Amino acid sequence: MPALPAPERMISPARRAAYEVLLRVFEQEAYADRAFRSAAEGLDERERAFAQRLAYGSVQRVRTLDHAIGTLGRRPVRKLDPPVRAALRLGAYQLGYTDTAPHAAVNESVELVRRARLERAVPFTNAVMRRLSDGIRPLLESLPDGPLKESYPDWIHEVFVRVRGEDGALALMRAMNEPLETVVRLVRGEPPAGAEETDVPGAYRVERVDEALVAEGRIWPQSRGSQLAGLCVGSQDGERVLDLCAAPGGKAGQLRGEVTAVEIDPARARELRENLARGRADVTVVEADGTALPRELEGFDRALVDAPCSGLGVLAQRPDLRWRATPLPELQLALLRSAAERVRPGGTLLYSVCTLNPDECEAVVDGSGLRVLPLGDEWPAFAHPSRPEFLLTLPHVHGTSGFFIARLVRSLG
């Protein structure tokens, strides 16, 4: 008589959602935030928060998790079936980094594999999860401080060492493995109830973002580092201002004067229009390549070049970015030079990037040939530690996303 199938155990909706995010991010190259929005649809607030912690934490810590799974499971993670790999990563994260009851992490990881119709892999998954239950905490504690323990690619650790030295690099990695402050920009009206003023004018620290106030156009979620960049443009009423690579529109919404916002991607340009309509419907949005601008876009008094970058300053907010980040110094320099050509002689440019990589920061400015207007005296709390003419916000120092900010001027000659 054939054996009866094992009875199905329940899988919590939060774990199911986190598992789907892991599959989509690592097997289908999806972005974690977009995958989570889809997977978490229908979850209540408590389940959604737990699912996000599991999903984002597992994505963020995947290098360390894979090391633990491979060491204790005695099989390379890359050789496992994708559902097994995702289930083990999710279970390992719960055992290593949360206070989840071990039996819950083990049983539901096994059940996820069974639900994937991989019955043959169930005994293996169960065995590995039990070894992880016993051994992952001691293994994690035994790892030396560095990129494996903090789960970063070696190249990002090397960049951080260049910027802040070994101790600073470790502090940076640790800071961006934890949630940073939640900050909104006050667009109009009164600050949200309970909001706390910060050292950046118009930026308020909040417990959570009130989506109703966002929809009404009263606030906008935006880090202090990002808001600082927008303020440093210094635009005034009556000036013509160019904003390159403007989506999603946070900084464009800060600018005064007659603003032209440029975005190359049609979907992001549509998002930009929708976001600006909540607070600043008077901005002109142009769909164009920032390195090859339409001829009629010229004679601006100021320009903001918030360029695409590796994003090494926003790794806390984007858990998958550390695994797909790419430096873009050639594109950044091309955008900066393109904007400079459209600014009148004597006009100013604000160059900002949400990265800490010197190749995308100081080196791009130095290669532009533009004269630097010092910012350190104006904002001493954020002055670059080695080049105070620039600003550099640091997650482990300032508690906000990492931004490099430079104000430049087009020569009169």
Question: Any idea which residues carry the catalytic annotation?
Answer: 354
Would you tell me how many other CB atoms lie within 10 Å of the CB of residue 311?
Answer: 24
Report the alpha-carbon distance of residue 340 to residue 309 in Å, rounded. Answer: 19
- Rounded to 10 deg, the angle between the 102-115 and 82-97 helix axes is 170
Q: Assess contact for 298 and 338: CB atoms under 8 A.
A: no
Comparing C-alpha atoms, which of 330, 408, 403 is closest to residue 374? 408
N-term to C-term CA, the chain: 93
Report the alpha-carbon distance of residue 146 to residue 247 in Å, rounded. Answer: 35
Report the alpha-carbon distance of residue 320 to residue 49 in Å, rounded. Answer: 18
Report the alpha-carbon distance of residue 77 to residue 200 in Å, rounded. Answer: 45
Report the alpha-carbon distance of residue 224 to residue 181 in Å, rounded. Answer: 9
Would you tell me how many other CB atoms lie within 10 Å of the CB of residue 122?
Answer: 16
Phi, psi of 350 (to 5 degrees): -115, 115
> What DSSP string runs through 124-155?
HHHHHHHHHHHHHHHHHHHSPTTHHHHT--HH
Report the alpha-carbon distance of residue 372 to residue 350 in Å, rounded. Answer: 10
> Which two three-digit tokens encode residue 145?
């401080």
Beta partners for 306?
Answer: 352
Burial of 125 (0-12, 13-18, 19+ CB in 10 A): buried
Letter for the amino acid at 143? L
Report the alpha-carbon distance of residue 228 to residue 324 in Å, rounded. Answer: 26
Report the alpha-carbon distance of residue 112 to residue 110 in Å, rounded. Answer: 5
Q: Which stretch of DSSP H or E encloses residue 300?
A: strand 300-306
Would you mind telling me the total number of residues written for the chain in this entry? Answer: 413
Q: Assess contact for 336 and 349: CB atoms under 8 A.
A: yes
Query: Tokens 């603003």 appear where?
Result: 259
